[in-house]
């Protein structure tokens, strides 16, 4: 049972001339909540739709719950549930009917559980497709997925449009799902959500995973930012290994330093008569912003 | 020194227009025309080419007076009158009159459908997709979108009218003069405007573009049935049919312009009604608030086939009712047919057509063919529905919930098989019932047998749609070309003098034209096999391709 739930290796996918995935590799272990982050158009949805067997990769391999998602889509689908980022409902069916239809396809609906989850999300099951607000449409898909008895939840920006109260309900439901031993792949743009929920995180950019690890691992990769007032000039700090974005304004310096080099830099600062020092700990946001924004450097590297 | 910038409301005193309910119409109109820059010319060219081809084909028959007399007798038969219209120039039958009697109504229907589809495309579809909200939030007046859509459709109708006038007028055919051609074109413009207004009204009622198109096409169907019944029975019913008004111009004969006034006044009244109704509803909403549904699904709904049928319920009911009504209309004119035959028997005319069929039999066969051509339009809808469930993102959650692709595909195929059968039988039943009531029970048997012959052909039409969904999903809508082609070759073929092989290229050309021809089994078997093959090819391709979704 120790095989990863999702294992992707060297996956490529293009839509005509647009290369959506380039040598993507991703591993999601059993029982973890795996955050899947990346800027718009990075290829998250494309990767997920390949994992669901809706699209076929051009090359590379993908395994979900030990099976090939393209060849064994149906068997696989009984063991997973999916929430898309944009939920379209049938205009002439109520939310409850839609949930029933999807549940029966999976093999059966636990009505009590559906009603329980719907109640927690405060969802009226009798409204018809178009009469739901965006957030409520999203909830219909969430209820269908969270009420299903499945091992794997694949969620693509599942809470776009939910209010903060519902966001909290969602988070506690995901915690419960994990406690029950389910695996969750969570693509999201809401950092706070990922920080609270995810055990491990993968960052995708231009169809390629650029970083993967636990939140602590990733924080290691982020930089501590330091602002200090010094009595002596500190020009040589700028040249030290691991120091970035160095700015000096008479006696005040500001820079960012990689975690590995923090010790050496602090020792050097200590010799420069520190009058005051403010340090901000590394954050995931900072790491992400760095990855999201230096698109050009990576494009030329690849 | 710059002072703090303060945002002050811009003064608009001299600028009344920007606050009017029509603000932004010009921009929206140009945008709509840009989006339709291919569509409009295609419609205009198709319609005028069809008219031109018809004119060229029938021109040859008018060379000697003998055959003109012969033609007039045929064209006065209730069969022809029921299908396309009355001979409004008895004793003075000409090429132009024949155009007005046999061709005009079809191209009028074409502009009506064009107008409905274009109006829905620019109004309700925009609202249903949410794009209208973006537009409305810009500086755009309440009626600007509808007005711009209407102007765009008016432009399209003008284009049709102009090209048709040019095509006929420049042909230089005898009796098809320029002034008549101008009236002929103008009838298209007025009919198009009328149905654009009809569409604008129904657009207010329902939230769903598909439903709106259905209602609009339903109105065209009613108009057609009214004029059919009215033309044969000569009871004035044609005067309540908008399609009848176009024909009442008696084009190329007395060239009456005044019936077009009915169309234009009707268009104006309906457009005003639409504008009034539109202020009673919000963007994206219909006039009726949707009622809640049960919170649980019935067991039929949770079955893939039941689900596919539920998605098409309205379509099946609408088409079946429509064809049943049309069948009834045609069936009820059978007595006129009988008295027509008697009248000529007294004169000692010979009534054996090619193959020895009686006029009565060929009338029944022709009507069954007409019903089959109408039914073929419904045959393509299942495949289209399946495709739109896919691209509009609703099929995806079902597949991910464990619905195998082949089951999903199979459910829609099964729904198409059932739908086409039901729709065709409904038409045959209407025709047969009316015939049995006014003539004798034999008609009922004939229509049922003839329907059985056409049903496999309809399956082939459906199957082409499904094959396209698998192989070339982006071109699913092209299956309509097959419907149009069937109509032109099978129905208009004899009129247009098209070679025999052209009809063989469409499935509807193959079944025996029972009861005018002898009944044969083999076309049924071959057509069914062909349908199975096409569906199989589509199934394999559908399993292999990426699932698409535009959201
Ligand atoms: N059907 C399609 N046809 C062509 N290109 C596509 C299609 N779907 C996605 N793409 C392209 O593939 C790339 C990846 O898109 P994808 O939807 O996977 O991104 P994403 O990471 O989910 O973005 P977002 O955060 O905005 O949801 C983008 O460049 C997108 O434009
Ligand atoms: Mg996405």
Q: What is the ipTM of this complex?
A: 0.75
Same domain, A191 and A273: no
The residues in B 258-317 lying below 8 A from A, measured between CB atoms, are 284, 290-297, 301-302, 304, 307, 310-311
The answer to whether B251 and B184 are in contact (CB under 8 A) is yes
Whether A20 is in the pocket of ligand 1, judged by its Cβ within 6 Å, is yes
Consecutive H or E run containing B51: helix B39-59
Q: Where are the alpha helices (DSSP H) in B170-254?
A: 178-205, 209-233, 242-247
Residue B62 is assigned to a structural domain of this protein: yes
Whether residue A130 and residue B290 make contact (CB cut-off 8 A), yes or no, is yes
Q: Do A54 and A82 fall into the same domain?
A: yes
Q: What is the rounded distance in angstroms from the CA atom of residue B395 to the CA atom of residue B412?
A: 12
Q: What is the pLDDT of residue B162?
A: 97
The minimal CB distance from A96 to the residues B294, B544, B547 is found for B294
B152 HSE (CA, 13 A, CB side): 32
Domain count, chain B: 1
Question: Residue A30 pLDDT more than 90?
Answer: yes
pLDDT of the residue at A122: 94
Q: Are residues A124 and A232 in the same domain?
A: no
Determine contact, residues B506/B490, Cβ cutoff 8 Å.
yes
Q: Coil, helix or strand for B227?
A: helix
Distance CA A160, CA B106 (A): 50
Tell me if A21 is assigned to some domain: yes
Q: Which of A146, A126, A145, A124 is nearest to A135 (CA)?
A: A124
B101, B75 contact by CB (below 8 A) = yes
Chain B contact for A96, CB < 8 A? yes
Query: For residue A138, is it within any domain?
Result: yes
Which range of residues forms the domain containing residue B114? 39-287
* pLDDT band per the 50, 70, 90 thresholds, residue A298: very low
- In terms of Cβ atoms closer than 10 Å to its own Cβ (0-12, 13-18, 19+), residue A187 is buried
Q: Are strands A223-230 and A274-280 parallel, antiparallel or unpaired?
A: antiparallel
Does B359 fall in a domain?
A: no
Longest dimension (CA), chain B: 107
Total structural domains within chain A: 2
CA end-to-end distance (rounded Å), chain A: 36
A66 and A132 assigned to the same domain = yes
* A260 vs A40 pLDDT, higher one: A40
Element counts in chain B: helices (H) and strands (E): 25, 0
- Sign of the Cα torsion A126, A129, A131, A135 reads positive
Q: Which of A87, A57, A69 is nearest to A152 (CA)?
A: A69
What pLDDT does residue B61 have?
A: 73
pLDDT of residue B499: 79
Give, using CA atoms, the residue closest to atom 30 of ligand 1.
Answer: A41
Q: What is the arithmetic mean of pLDDT over A227-246?
A: 85
pLDDT of residue B495: 67
Beta bridge mates, A15: A18
Please check whether residue B188 is in contact with residue B108, taking contact to mean a CB–CB distance below 8 angstroms.
yes
Q: Are residues A41 and A148 in the same domain?
A: yes
State which H helix or E strand residue B459 sits in.
helix B442-471
CATH number at residue A12: 3.40.50.300
Q: Which of helix, strand or coil describes residue A163? A: coil
* Dist. CA A135–CA A162, nearest whole Å: 5
What CA–CA distance (Å, rounded) separates A51 from A34?
Answer: 14
Q: Which of B207, B295, B397 sits opposite A102 (nearest CB)?
A: B397
The answer to whether position B91 is within a domain reads yes
User: Between the ranges A241-245, A257-261, B126-130, B154-158, where is the mean pLDDT highest?
Assistant: B154-158
pLDDT tops 50 at residue A106: yes
Q: Which residues pair with A62 in a beta bridge?
A: A8
Q: How far is the CA of A205 from the centre of ligand 2 (A)?
A: 12
Is B360 buried (19+), middle (13-18) or exposed (0-12) by CB count in 10 A? buried
| Domain-embedded: residue B225 | yes
- Please report the DSSP string for B1-45 in residue order: -PPPP---PPP-TT--GGGSTTTTHHHHHHHHHHHTTTHHHHHHH
pLDDT in tens, chain B (551 residues): 445 555 555 544 444 444 577 877 888 898 899 999 999 999 999 999 989 988 888 887 777 777 788 788 878 877 788 888 999 998 888 999 999 998 999 999 999 999 999 999 999 888 887 777 767 766 677 788 899 999 999 999 999 999 999 999 999 888 899 999 999 999 999 999 999 999 999 999 888 888 889 899 999 999 998 998 899 888 888 999 999 999 999 999 999 999 999 999 999 999 999 999 988 877 777 777 777 888 888 888 888 999 999 989 989 999 999 999 999 988 888 888 777 777 766 554 444 444 456 778 888 888 898 899 999 999 999 999 999 999 988 999 999 998 999 999 999 999 999 999 999 999 999 999 999 988 888 889 999 999 999 999 999 999 999 999 999 999 998 999 999 888 888 777 776 677 778 888 889 888 888 888 888 888 999 999 999 999 999 999 999 999 987 66
Beta-bridge partners for A209 = A204
Q: Let me know if residue B295 belongs to a domain.
A: no
Ligand nearest to the CA of B473: 1
Q: What is the pLDDT of residues A62-71, one digit of tens each?
A: 999 999 999 8
Biggest alpha carbon distance in chain A? Answer: 74
Position A262 in a domain: yes
Q: Measured at the alpha carbon of residue B79, what is the angle toward residues B379 and B220, in degrees to the nearest 5?
A: 45
Give yes or no: residues A161 and A49 share one domain.
yes
In terms of domains, do A164 and A274 share one? Answer: no
Rounded distance between C-alpha atoms, residue B463 and residue B531, angstroms: 5
Look at residue A22 and tell me if it is in a domain: yes
Locate all alpha helices (DSSP H) within A18-149, ordered by sequence: 44-51, 73-77, 95-106, 111-120, 134-146
Q: Is A74 touching B (CB cutoff 8 A)?
A: yes
Q: Whole-prediction pTM value?
A: 0.82
Q: Which ligand is nearest to the CA of A38?
A: 1
Is the distance from CB of B213 to CB of B313 less than 8 angstroms? Answer: no
Same domain, A144 and A250: no
Residue A196 lies in a domain: yes
Distances B403 to A139, A239, B333, B387, B440 between C-alpha atoms, Å: 21, 61, 49, 16, 50
Pure H helices in B333-358: 334-346
- Cβ count within 10 A of residue A29: 15
Range 82-141 of B in CB contact (< 8 A) with A = none
Is there a single domain that holds both residue A204 and residue A248?
A: no
The yes-or-no verdict on residue A189 having pLDDT over 60 is yes
Q: Are residues A55 and B546, on separate chains, in Cβ contact within 8 Å? A: yes
Distances (CA, A) of A6 to A180, A233, B453: 18, 53, 54
Q: Which backbone phi and psi does A230 adopt, to 5 degrees?
A: -120, 150
Say if residue A241 is in the same domain as residue A92.
no
Q: Give the domain extent around A242.
A: 223-281
Atom 3, ligand 1: which residue's CA is nearest? A15
Indicate the burial class of B134 (C-beta count within 10 angstroms; 0-12, 13-18, 19 or more).
Answer: exposed
| CATH number of the domain bearing residue A266 | 3.30.70.260
A32 and A154 share one domain: yes
User: Is B332 domain-assigned?
Assistant: no
Q: Would you tell me how many other CB atoms lie within 10 Å of the CB of residue A194?
A: 21
Residue A258 host element (H or E) = strand A252-258
**A51: nearest CA partner in chain B:** B400
d(CA A163, nearest CA chain B) in Å: 21
Q: Which chain A residue shows the shortest CA-CA distance from B297? A: A97
* Contact: B402, A97; criterion CB under 8 Å: no
Q: Do A228 and A117 share a domain, yes or no? A: no
Chain A nearest CA to B46, separation (Å): 33
Whether the CB of A86 is below 8 Å from some CB of chain B: the reply is yes
Task: Measure the CA–CA gap between B27 and B148, rounded to whole angstroms.
Answer: 8
Q: Do the Cβ atoms of B457 and B508 come closer than 8 Å?
A: yes
DSSP state of B101: I
* Cα distance between residue A168 and residue A115, in whole Å: 19
Say yes or no: CB of residue A50 within 6 Å of ligand 1: no
Strand pairing class (A200-205; A33-37): parallel
């Amino acid at each position: 049972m120790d095989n990863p739930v999702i294992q992707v290796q060297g996956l490529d996918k293009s839509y005509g001339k647009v290369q959506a995935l380039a040598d993507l590799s991703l591993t999601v272990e059993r029982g973890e909540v795996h955050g899947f982050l990346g800027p718009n158009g990075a290829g998250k949805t494309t990767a997920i739709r390949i994992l669901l067997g809706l699209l076929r990769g051009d090359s590379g391999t993908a395994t979900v719950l030990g099976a090939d998602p393209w060849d064994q889509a149906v068997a696989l689908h009984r063991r997973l549930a999916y929430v898309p980022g944009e939920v379209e409902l049938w205009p002439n069916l109520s939310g409850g009917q839609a949930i029933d239809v999807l549940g029966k396809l999976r093999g059966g609906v636990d009505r009590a559980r559906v009603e329980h989850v719907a109640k927690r999300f405060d969802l009226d099951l009798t409204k018809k497709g178009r009469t739901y607000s965006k957030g409520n449409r999203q909830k219909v898909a969430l209820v269908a997925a969270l009420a299903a008895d499945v091992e794997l939840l694949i969620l693509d920006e599942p809470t776009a449009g939910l209010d903060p109260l519902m966001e909290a309900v969602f988070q506690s439901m995901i915690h419960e799902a994990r406690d029950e031993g389910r695996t969750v792949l969570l693509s999201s743009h809401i950092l706070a959500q990922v920080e609270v929920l995810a055990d491990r995180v993968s960052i995708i950019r231009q169809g390629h995973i650029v970083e993967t690890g636990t939140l602590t691992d990733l924080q290691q990769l982020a930089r501590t930012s330091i602002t200090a007032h010094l009595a002596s000039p500190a020009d040589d700090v700028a040249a030290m290994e691991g120091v970035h974005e160095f700015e000096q304004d008479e006696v005040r310096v500001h820079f960012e330093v990689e975690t590995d080099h923090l010790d050496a830099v602090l020792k050097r600062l200590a010799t420069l008569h520190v009058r005051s020092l403010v340090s901000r700990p590394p954050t995931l946001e900072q790491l992400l912003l760095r990855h999201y924004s230096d698109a050009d450097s990576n494009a030329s590297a690849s | 020194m710059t002072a703090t910038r303060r945002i002050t409301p811009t003064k608009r005193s001299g600028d009344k227009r920007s606050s009017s309910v029509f603000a932004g119409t010009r921009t929206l109109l140009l945008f709509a025309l840009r989006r339709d820059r291919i569509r409009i010319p295609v419609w205009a060219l198709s319609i005028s080419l069809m008219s031109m081809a018809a004119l060229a084909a029938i021109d040859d028959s008018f060379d000697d007076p003998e055959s003109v007399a012969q033609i007039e007798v045929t064209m006065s038969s209730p069969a022809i009158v029921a299908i396309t219209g009355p001979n409004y120039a008895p004793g003075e039958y000409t090429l132009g009159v024949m155009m007005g009697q046999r061709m005009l109504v079809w191209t009028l229907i074409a502009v009506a459908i064009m107008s409905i589809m274009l109006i829905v495309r620019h109004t309700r579809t925009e609202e249903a997709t949410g794009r209208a909200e973006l537009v409305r939030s810009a500086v755009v007046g309440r009626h600007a979108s509808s007005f711009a859509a209407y102007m765009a459709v008016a432009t399209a109708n003008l284009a049709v009218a102009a090209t048709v006038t040019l095509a006929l007028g420049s042909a230089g055919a005898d009796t098809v003069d320029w002034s008549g051609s101008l009236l002929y074109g103008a009838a298209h413009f007025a009919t198009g405007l009328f149905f654009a207004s009809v569409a604008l009204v129904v657009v207010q009622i329902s939230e769903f573009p598909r439903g709106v198109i259905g209602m609009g096409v339903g109105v065209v169907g009613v108009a057609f049935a009214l004029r059919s019944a009215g033309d044969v029975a000569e009871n004035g019913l044609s005067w309540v049919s908008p399609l009848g008004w176009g024909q009442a111009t008696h084009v190329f004969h007395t060239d009456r312009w005044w019936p077009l006034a009915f169309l234009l006044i009707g268009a104006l009244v309906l457009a005003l009604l639409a504008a009034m109704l539109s202020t009673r509803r919000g963007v994206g909403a219909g006039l009726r608030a949707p009622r809640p549904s049960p919170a649980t699904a019935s067991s039929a709904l949770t079955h893939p086939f039941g689900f596919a049928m539920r998605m098409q319920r309205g379509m099946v009911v609408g088409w079946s009712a429509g064809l049943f009504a049309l069948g009834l209309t045609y069936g009820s004119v059978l007595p006129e047919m009988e008295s027509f035959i008697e009248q000529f028997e007294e004169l000692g005319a010979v009534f054996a057509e090619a193959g020895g069929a009686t006029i009565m039999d060929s009338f029944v066969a022709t009507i069954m063919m007409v019903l089959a051509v109408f039914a073929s339009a419904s045959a393509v809808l299942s495949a289209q529905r399946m495709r739109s469930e896919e691209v509009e993102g609703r099929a995806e959650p079902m597949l991910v919930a464990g619905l195998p692709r082949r089951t999903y595909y199979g459910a829609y195929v099964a729904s198409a098989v059932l739908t086409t059968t039901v729709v065709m039988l409904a038409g045959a039943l209407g025709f047969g019932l009316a015939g049995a009531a006014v003539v004798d029970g034999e008609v009922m048997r004939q229509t049922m047998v003839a329907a059985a012959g056409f049903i496999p052909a309809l399956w082939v039409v459906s199957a082409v749609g499904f094959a396209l969904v698998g192989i070339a999903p982006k071109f699913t809508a092209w299956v309509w070309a097959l419907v149009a082609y069937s109509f032109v070759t099978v129905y208009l073929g004899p009129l247009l003098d098209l070679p025999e092989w052209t009809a063989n290229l469409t499935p509807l050309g193959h079944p025996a034209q029972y009861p005018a021809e002898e009944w044969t089994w083999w076309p049924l078997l071959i057509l069914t096999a062909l349908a199975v093959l096409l569906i199989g090819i589509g199934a394999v391709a559908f399993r292999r391709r990426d699932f698409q979704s535009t959201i």
